[in-house]
Amino acid sequence: MKRGLGLWFGFVLLAMLGVTTWASLQENVGAAFVRLAKDPWGLATLFDAYFAFLVVWFWIAWRECCALNRGIWLVAILVLGNFAITAYVLLALRGEESIDGLFRKRGCHV
């Protein structure tokens, strides 16, 4: 199961890299944002995505005991979206024997 999850998140990372590269070659991200934000469904999609990012960040904040790490991951997710989420999961999987570890708080070292 851990290997399958790692493969899935690796695929997501590569797919996001591919589609983001393609989109960047088509249109500047700033211009696309302005156009998207004016469209009601575009705005709804942005709200949907960022609320989902925050849901994932709440899980990360629960797992991480260091406030600095929580803050770094929040900024990374808000700026990089699924790139940061997939990176977090792949890094977390490397440090765990099984996926069960993803659903436990990390040990805090004081």
Per domain, the residue ranges of the chain are 2-102
What CA–CA distance (Å, rounded) separates 67 from 9? Answer: 25
pLDDT of residue 99: 86
Average pLDDT, the chain: 92
Predicted confidence (pLDDT) per residue in 17-65, tens digit: 999 999 999 999 999 999 999 999 999 999 999 999 999 999 999 999 8
Helix (H) or strand (E) holding 12: helix 2-26
